[in-house]
Amino acid sequence: MNAEILGIDPNKIVACGASAGGYLSLCCAMIPGFDDYSDDLDIDCKPNALVIFNGGVDSELLIQLFPDLYMDLLIANPIDAVKSNLPPSIFFHGTDDQNIPIRRITNFVERLRLNGNECKLEVFEGMGHGFFNYGNHGNIPYLRTVEQTKCFLEDYCIFGE
């Protein structure tokens, strides 16, 4: 409805997030049923592509941090919601991430692929959580993720002509 007014192509919506924001981006694409009562359910809120930086792929850590949300977090668990026809995705993750171990990401990406989903995993050797932020590591990872994101979005006709 507002896309036309704002000049937005509703078929080129990208959810992008880092850490918990990555988890939320995955939930937007994968977990139904958390709509607000005032939402127009005729409008599909599923993004057309996902860009995830050091993102959580399961709710295990969140359950530990927020035990009062146990039931909702059990439902909002991307690792258990993998299915086919999910948006194309790219994941950026460091091998030394202590918050979200790389093995969780590699397992998640493998599950996505086994279900026929298009996804890429860009691994950053020796990097920890938040390695990609501007100003870190001489901006080398930042510039690399920007370029790889641009190429990914162009490949899926989300960015550019």
Cβ pair 13, 51 in contact under 8 A: no
Read off the pTM: 0.92
Q: What domains appear along the chain, each with residue ranges and CATH number?
A: 11-31+44-155 (3.40.50.1820)
CA angle 144, 17, 139 (to 5 degrees): 25
Could you list the pLDDT tens digit for every one of the 161 residues in the chain?
A: 677 888 888 888 999 999 999 999 999 999 988 888 888 888 788 999 999 999 999 998 899 999 999 999 999 999 999 999 999 999 999 999 999 999 999 999 999 999 999 999 999 999 999 999 999 999 999 999 999 999 999 998 776 65
Please check whether residue 47 is in contact with residue 12, taking contact to mean a CB–CB distance below 8 angstroms: no
C-alpha radius of gyration, the chain, whole number: 16
